Amino acid sequence: MPPYTSPQDIRDAAYGITIPPGGEVDASLSGLIDKAERRLIARVPSIPARVADGTLEVAAVRDAIEDIVLRVVRNPNGYSSEQAGEFSYRIDRVTASGRIEITDADLVGLLLPVSASTGFGSIRLGVPSWRLP
């Protein structure tokens, strides 16, 4: 399985957060990326084959992995609320767990499109002669 993203991609996507470069930080990010990729492919096993045959863009997979990893980077302890003086806010529990979790929003661009129904054939309808005028 080829890597779909790198620690530098995570840094570039981390708007408003400064993630320092370095061996230990890169190792932690690489571990999170690997775990996110494994869990994402466990949910959508067709990802590698579809990337290989060109029906799924690597950028779509990279975007999903970046979002998954950045949720952990932004909230590593999984806080669900915070208060500072009179100001307080609560973070969504699902996305603020501090764990690598795959949400439905992460899968939107990765799932196979639902094919349009081709119908079920034709039906011959007839009106009984006693109902005719």
Taking only the tens place, the pLDDT of each residue in 57-110 is: 999 999 999 999 988 888 766 666 667 777 776 666 655 556 788 888 888 888
Which of 99, 97, 28, 102 lies closest to 65, judged by CA?
102
Output the pLDDT for position 125: 72
d(CA 22, CA 118): 54
Q: What percent of the chain shows pLDDT beyond 70?
A: 75
Contact 91, 80 (CB under 8 A): yes
d(CA 126, CA 82): 69
Output the pLDDT for position 20: 83
